[in-house]
Amino acid sequence: MSKKVAVILSGCGVYDGAEIQESVITLLRLDQRGAQVQCFAPNVAQMHVINHLSGEEMPESRNVLTESARIARGNVEDVRTLAVEHFDALILPGGFGVAKNLSNFAVEGANCSVQPDVLAAAQAFAQAGKPIGLICISPALAVKIFGAGVTATLGSSEDPAAAALVSMGGVHEECAVEDVIEDQAHKLVTTPAYMLAQSIAEAASGINKLVDRVLELAQPH
């Protein structure tokens, strides 16, 4: 029986939403491994909209769920409808949308809060003992999901995001771009991806390993 995986997206585009390459690599690997996938996103306004050509903020508003549909080819649902009992695992790709739309980590750092619907969904997987994969900047939310003592990676311990994770009560482990860090007690798998990657192939090397491990940990229901 194929395993069912929920993927939470945070918009469309590295600077204000989900990192497109990380998201596509994740979805591709899940499909290659025969998993059934459903994408989700919160039905909220983006923190802001960034011109990805110039890096400048644009005077407009966009919706995270609507933008995530660009990556999911329209097949994305409101995260508040995510029922943990229908899935075997959860994965969050990275991108600044994680720190801007799924949480306010980009502004508040260690004092951040997670968007309520996203937090409820992720905590449901944690409480059910189902594996979670957090990619790139997503591990910054690990303590909010699992509580103090959880181990994760953001790549280099010199990264300010790693310091924030530690100050929240998490344990940070350094990790090469092609590898993963697993917290066995929490069934959490993390990988740096574009926190360290210099190419799409480098990002894929760790993400593929994360997806494979999350599927190994998942118990089909």
- Tell me the pLDDT of the chain (221 aa) as tens digits: 799 999 999 999 999 999 999 999 999 999 999 999 999 999 999 999 999 999 999 999 999 999 999 999 999 999 999 999 999 999 999 999 999 999 999 999 999 999 999 999 999 999 999 999 999 999 999 999 999 999 999 999 999 999 999 999 999 999 999 999 999 999 999 999 999 999 999 999 999 999 999 999 998 76
Within 13 Å of residue 9, how many CA atoms lie on the same side as its CB? 36
Torsion angle, alpha carbons of 49, 111, 151, 5, to 10: -40
The answer to whether the beta carbons of residues 126 and 120 sit under 8 Å apart is no
Give burial (CB, 10 Å; 0-12/13-18/19+) of 53: exposed
Q: Would you tell me how many other CB atoms lie within 10 Å of the CB of residue 151?
A: 20
Whether the full predicted model's pTM is greater than 0.85, yes or no, is: yes
CATH number of domain containing 169: 3.40.50.880
Q: What letter represents residue 58's amino acid?
A: M
Structurally, the chain folds into a number of domains equal to 1
Range of the domain at 147: 4-217
Enzyme catalytic residues? 136
